[in-house]
Amino acid sequence: MPTIVPAILENTKEGFLDKISRVIMLSGVERIQVDFGDGIFIPNKILPITEIDNLNPAFHWEAHLMLKEPKEFLDYQICGFKTLLVHYEAFESLDNLQSALESIRSLGMKCGVVINPTTKVEVLKEFVGLADQFLIMSVNPGFQGQAFLEETFSRVKELRMLLPNAIIEVDGGVSLSNIRELSHAGADLLVVGSALLKAPNILEAYQQLQKEIES
């Protein structure tokens, strides 16, 4: 059964702590994604890791690094992140990306490769055995609340055919209107930002999303 992964994208420490407190109250949440952006790889400069301290170890924290050529991974590990997700498009070469994945694993964390909507799904074949999960962006990275790109359904199906045993994650514009079809297409992890955090009642929104993926 697919897992809903609430996503926190915040530029201020107080906003970050407020969103964390709202998300960890949702019973059933086991995995939470925190977005990071450097204002270079994406236009948005998001709260840096230096502003975040020890995360609640009861959850599996994953960091979505929308950063150009990320190298410093120790800070995330110290903070309590268990998985780091890096962008295929953020590296000058495959070697740089592969060594980033190796250094993440050498710190005892899991790693994932993220592809933007215009990057071919097949590039992910290169990372079988090197990455623990694969994230298909269903919006162009950088901001919450963007519209879901419909071609994502076929991209998820394509990746599931290509890598039958992979852990496939989808991120961006996931909501009640597409979460069921994404699950049926083969997604394992469904990242949800504004459909939860901008909902009038976050608990109700979470329960409705959960019901959709169980159907």
Q: H helices then E strands: how many in the chain?
A: 7, 8
Helix (H, G, I), strand (E, B) or coil at 190: strand
Closest CA to 6 of 176, 183, 215, 197: 197
Minimal distance, residue 171 CB to ligand DX5, in Å = 5
Closest CA to 187 of 144, 145, 158: 158
CB of 17 or CB of 161, closer to ligand DX5: 17
Nearer to ligand DX5, 99 or 194 (CB): 194
Which C-beta is closer to ligand DX5: that of 79 or that of 99?
79
* Of 88, 75, 82, residue with least CA distance to 47: 75
Q: Is 62 in the site for ligand DX5 (CB under 6 A)?
A: no
Which of 14-22, 68-76, 92-100, 187-195 is the region at the interface with ligand DX5 (rule: CB under 6 A)? 187-195
Give yes or no: 171 in active site: yes
b (16+ CB within 10 A) / e for 113-144: bbbbeebebeebeebeeebbbbbbbbbebbbb
Among 2, 6, 112, 141, the residue binding ligand DX5 under the rule CB under 6 A is: 141
188 as an active site residue: the answer is: no
Q: Is 90 in the site for ligand DX5 (CB under 6 A)?
A: no
- Show the tokens assigned to 9: 């994208």
Cβ-closest residue to ligand DX5? 193
117 binds ligand DX5 per the rule CB under 6 A: no
Among 179, 177, 87, 101, which Cα is nearest to 135's?
Answer: 87
* 16-45 residues near ligand DX5, rule: CB under 6 A: 33, 35
Given a contact cutoff of 8 angstroms between Cβ atoms, the answer to whether 85 and 111 are in contact is yes
From 18, 35, 53, 95, the catalytic residue: 35
Would you tell me which residues interact with ligand DX5 (CB under 6 A)? 7, 9, 33, 35, 64, 139, 141-146, 171-174, 191-195
Residues tagged active-site = 35, 171
